[in-house]
């Protein structure tokens, strides 16, 4: 049907409907779905909470003030910086916090250095135990079994204000006090990767290395949980110095 210009203008003015001028044969554009928001991925093998992500320690380190820092933390062979004490109320739970926090970035021994994939926030006292284990146990074990030294450690962030196993209630996690760390793997200087999830329990050099450092960790930490402990730790070691038993002498090594 042909519509003349005067009739067309009249229909527009009075609101009378008129046949579409678009040909039925012309394709109709497809509806484009809304794009999904990007989601931050979680480090494989590390026990990170999804509902309440950790507030990065960088926010605290930006507020550094010498007068507000705790007494000097001394850890020979560790590479770290001190940051302001953590107040648990800032993270939503007054039970959380660290009085003497540091950001540990790595360690060095006789000219060689190893680093974490990202700085880990720990209490000074726990960082001392961790550094001794890494330098005196992990590095020598790697030296005995591999032709290349350990250069990088994959781990969680250390401090996290949360309850155990990311549950909404229950006992406070040692992560909430800076007294724990989750380690998921190592990288050697030659680029070789050692994954706790993939290499644990295997009859390989990597498997023997992981078994050896697990055993040595049980002599330094009060809690060592690995893939044999439960499904929550199938892909990493959880290490902490929490108190077990009335005299704090009970050890958990799994």
Taking every pair of Cα atoms in the chain, the longest distance, rounded to a whole number of angstroms, is: 98
Rg (CA), the chain: 28
Backbone torsion region of residue 191, taken as left when φ is above 0, otherwise alpha when ψ lies between -120 and 50, otherwise beta:
left
Closest CA to 248 of 175, 179, 161, 167: 179
Let me know if residue 94 belongs to a domain: yes
For residue 80, report the phi and psi dihedrals to the nearest 5 degrees.
Answer: -160, 170
Chain-centre distance for alpha carbon 210: 20
pLDDT score at 88? 75
Q: Determine the average pLDDT of the residues in 73-81.
A: 96
Predicted model pTM: 0.73
pLDDT score at 12? 43
Report DSSP state, residue 53. P
- pLDDT surpassing 70 at residue 180: yes
Burial class (CB in 10 A: 0-12, 13-18, 19+), 51: exposed
**Containing domain of residue 142, as a range?**
58-253
Let me know if residue 157 belongs to a domain: yes
Count of structural domains, the chain: 1
Least confident of 72-76, 109-113, 115-119, 151-155: 109-113
Let me know if residue 165 belongs to a domain: yes
Let me know if residue 169 belongs to a domain: yes
pLDDT higher for 38 or 150? 150
64 band by pLDDT with thresholds 50, 70 and 90: very low
């Amino acid at each position: 049907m042909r519509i003349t210009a005067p009739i067309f203008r009249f229909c527009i003015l009075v609101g009378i409907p008129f046949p579409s001028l678009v040909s039925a044969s012309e394709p109709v554009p497809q509806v484009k779905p809304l794009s999904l928001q990007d989601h931050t991925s979680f480090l494989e093998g590390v026990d990170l909470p999804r509902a309440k992500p950790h507030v990065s320690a960088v926010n605290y380190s930006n507020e550094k003030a010498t007068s507000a820092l705790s007494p000097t933390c001394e850890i020979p062979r560790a590479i770290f910086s001190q940051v302001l004490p953590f107040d648990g109320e800032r993270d939503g739970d007054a039970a959380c916090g660290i009085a003497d926090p540091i950001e540990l970035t790595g360690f060095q021994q006789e000219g060689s250095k190893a680093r974490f994939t990202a700085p880990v926030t720990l209490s000074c006292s726990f960082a001392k135990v961790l550094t001794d284990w890494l330098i005196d146990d992990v590095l020598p074990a790697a030296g005995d079994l591999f032709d290349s030294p350990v250069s990088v450690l994959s781990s969680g962030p250390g401090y996290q204000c949360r309850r155990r196993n990311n549950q909404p209630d229950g006992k406070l996690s040692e992560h909430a006090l800076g007294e724990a760390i989750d380690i998921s793997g190592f990288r050697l200087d030659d680029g070789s990767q050692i994954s706790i999830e993939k290499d644990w329990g295997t009859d390989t050099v990597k498997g023997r290395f992981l078994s050896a450092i697990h055993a040595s960790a049980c002599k330094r930490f009060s809690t060592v949980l690995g893939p044999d402990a439960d499904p929550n730790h199938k892909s990493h070691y959880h290490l902490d110095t929490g108190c077990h038993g009335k005299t704090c002498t009970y050890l958990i090594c799994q």
